[in-house]
A and B are shown apart, each in its own frame.
Chain A
Amino acid sequence: MTEIQTDLPKQPVPFRGGGFRPRPIRFVGLAVFIVLIALIEWGVRAGWISNLTLPRPSDVLATFGELYRTGALWDHLSISLSRLVVGSAIGVSAGIGLGILIGLFSLIRAGLVPLVAAIFPIPKIALLPLFVIWFGIDEGSKYALIALGTFTPTVVATYGAVENVDRTLIRMGQSFGLSWLSIVRKIVLPGAMPGILSGLRISLAIGIILLVAAEMLGATHGVGAYILQAGSLYDLERLFAGVTILSVLGVTVSFLIGQVEKHLLDWRV
């Protein structure tokens, strides 16, 4: 039997590695957007999409231009951005801090995981009237809503990420005689970073969603207030202009996190 095998012609083995690794392809995302928008523009102009259903994208663009020219865009955007930045900075930093503590210490984990699980499913919007009483109708209640909304997903993502750090790496560090603090700093935190950052994508998207909710009560300026007003006036052009701003905000945040990932995770092979 061994003879037959040696008689076989040598077959070159093709390289089967590679793949399963996302690679950037430029302009495809852009093309999808353009085709979709062109389709809507054509549909509304031709009339097979009623003007009650969707606005003309060109009208939305004109509304956007008007917002930019009158300076109203910055009025709304700057105030919303400050709410988003302050609120999510509080929520995310508290969330990452607590998440790491939960991941590292069993006692904290035993005490706080049920509490986080209890807070997570509460619709934060339902608590808005309560926040108004607690923190006042001005910026306080808005920060609190966004902070609480971004806090819970960050905690869950962070302690999950800390738990998923490769135990063999930790054991290796221990056998090399690293101190506890060194292990946390050099193995646990870098190892948890991918999970924390992908959790951040979700938390910040939730922060943007809650921006609209936060501006429901007592806000006259801000992208969320603008959208709500447009909705109640059934002004579709303004509604979509506002929604577009939020989408762009989401894309920007996602891009920024991508940059942070590139920078912080360049140790990954």
Chain B
Amino acid sequence: MRLNRRQAVTLMGGTAAAAATALAAPAIANTPLVVGALRFTSHAGTFTAFERGYFAEAGLDVELRFFDAAQPMAVAIASGDVDYAVTAMTGGLISLANRGAVRVIGGALQEEPGVTGQKFLVSDAAFQDGVTSTAALDGRRFAISQAGSSFHYMGSKMAAAENITLNYTPLQSVGNIISSLRSGQVDGWAIVPHIALALGGSGAVHIIGDVADYLPNYQVTTVFTSTANANDEREMTENFLGAFSRGVDDFNAAMVDSALGDGGRDEMVRLIHNYVYTDREYDAAAPSIINGSMRLTPGAALNLASLQDQFDWFKSEDLIDQDIAFETVVDTSYVETI
């Protein structure tokens, strides 16, 4: 496009005017934001806030960007391609926080006694071989995506409690783990309930225990953002967390507390189905979505005890630098702490 001088001046004037309006009325102006998400039910807080317009009401013009795994999301935040995201506190996330790139500002998915949570699974071959309880996994292959992933943490905590050793087998992706588990190449795994129950129903895999028995208040995922957003964009970050928490409350009421009856639940399932299991018919997807509904922490509150435990575990496994401080990673100034 070629501009002559007059057009250029008009354009500059227009831009300046737009900028002036934006500055004059920050509450009304829509701040463009990119929010990272995985196509998991555990990201329903983001989906609900987006679909029901809570982000828009908070003055945020949100664009959702989808990822295949937690790790790339943390890197995308560090590179500035994504502003906010929800995922597990992985070793990579802590390393990026140590480099001054990202910070954890809130909590999301959590284990809660009484709510169906993450499960320990074994392959059929191992089950037939007598591995019918978690303690019997001693010396067996336990699937993890990577060292420092949440699977590694859950396996390690269970092994410590049962006083057994596990042979951790990195398989990179959930897809690889599932196929290896089905074919009996690995023996054990721990995973969110909608995947666990679907696999358990197939007969190729058996459920032998609950993660909540070993980690009763485990905060599985956290809300995080770039250090720049956490430190310098307070208002925007508060607005985001406010809108996100409204989505979380709707989700908990409909799916976890069943406070809205079947109608409310189905409405929520339909909303989530726009993002999760989109390749399946609604009727096939609904049970998985309902099964996969674990509580999202209200108000995005941070469970410091759980996060501190995860943090100490990373250090004890020598997965992160010994001299990183917990405060470098977690910013407790935004939400309540438990």
Interface of A toward B, CB cutoff 8 Å? 51-52, 129, 132-133, 136-137, 216-220, 225, 228-229, 232-235
Given contacts A129-B179, A132-B180, contact A232 B71 (CB under 8 A): yes
Minimum CB–CB distance from B95 to chain A (whole Å) comes to 4
In the complex formed, the residue of B with least CB distance to A137 is B185
Given contacts A132-B185, A234-B74, contact A137 B180 (CB under 8 A): yes
Q: How many A-B residue pairs have CB under 8 A?
A: 76
Question: Which residue of B93, B149, B169 has the most chain A CB atoms within 10 A of its CB atom?
Answer: B169
Q: Which residues of B contact A218 (CB under 8 A)?
A: 141, 169-171, 180, 185-186
In the complex formed, the residue of A with least CB distance to B320 is A233
Asked if B101 is at the interface of the complex by the 8 Å CB criterion, the answer is yes
Asked if B188 is at the interface of the complex by the 8 Å CB criterion, the answer is no
Minimum CB–CB distance from A52 to chain B (whole Å) comes to 5
Complex Cα spacing A218 to B74, Å: 24
A229 touches B96 (CB 8 A): no
B185 touches A133 (CB 8 A): yes
Given contacts A232-B91, A233-B319, contact A216 B172 (CB under 8 A): yes
Minimum CB–CB distance from A188 to chain B (whole Å) comes to 45
- Size band of the B side of the interface? 20 to 34
Segment 298-322 of B: residues with Cβ below 8 Å from A: 319-320
Interface of B toward A, CB cutoff 8 Å? 71, 74-75, 78-79, 90-93, 95-96, 99, 101, 141, 145-149, 168-172, 176, 179-180, 183, 185-186, 319-320
Complex Cα spacing A233 to B176, Å: 20
**Further pairs besides A51-B99, A129-B176, A233-B320: 9, Cβ < 8 Å:** A129-B180, A217-B172, A218-B186, A219-B170, A220-B169, A232-B91, A232-B147, A233-B92, A233-B147
Q: Which residues of B contact A129 (CB under 8 A)?
A: 176, 179-180
Complex Cα spacing A232 to B96, Å: 11
Minimum CB–CB distance from B326 to chain A (whole Å) comes to 17
Complex Cα spacing A52 to B180, Å: 34
Closest 5 CB pairs of A and B: A232-B146, A234-B92, A234-B95, A233-B91, A137-B185
Given contacts A132-B180, A232-B90, A232-B92, contact A220 B185 (CB under 8 A): no
In the complex formed, the residue of B with least CB distance to A217 is B171
